[in-house]
Amino acid sequence: MKLPRSIAGWTIAVFGVLALAMGAVGLLWPEAQLRMLGFEMPETRAVGDHTGTFLLASSMAAFNMGVYYLLATVTEWRVFYRFTVVFRLVTFTVFTIAVLADIAPDRFFGVAAWEGLGAVATAVGLRLDARRGVPAGGVTSSGAAGTAAVAEEGTGPADAAPADAAR
């Protein structure tokens, strides 16, 4: 796998790796995941308690999200980076309200804080990258030829054929 080529890319990569890892923990060791989040672990579950099913679905979603974030990093998909800033701030808000309304345990605020800090870090990274001259869809020039890699929304040389046309 390629390393991130921008500051914002590093913030997305870190989140992607952690989402992938936490999703894997939830799939392989759900009790540890629940304890980490501050949820109680009763000896037995009542009939109709679908905590395990919900944790399985959430963990699979986190695992997949980690893959998506890492794919965005490899392709330097900056539109996705900007999109995550907005929705991670929404997630921060919803999770914070859940803790304040006693819907979630206090320890769950750590998840909210992680989302909020991650959104701010990515926003700052995007701004710093813009100041450094990182193109909106790619990276700064590299190599002796001074070519720039562009990997956003299928853009590239004007004479390039669409990816699907080759199939």
Each residue of 13-57: pLDDT tens digit? 999 999 999 999 999 999 898 888 778 777 888 888 888 888 899
Nearest to 2 by CA among 120, 130, 142, 115: 142
Higher pLDDT among residues 60 and 35, named by residue:
60
Measured CA to CA in angstroms, residue 125 lies from 11, 92, 120, 134, 135 at distances of 7, 19, 8, 11, 13
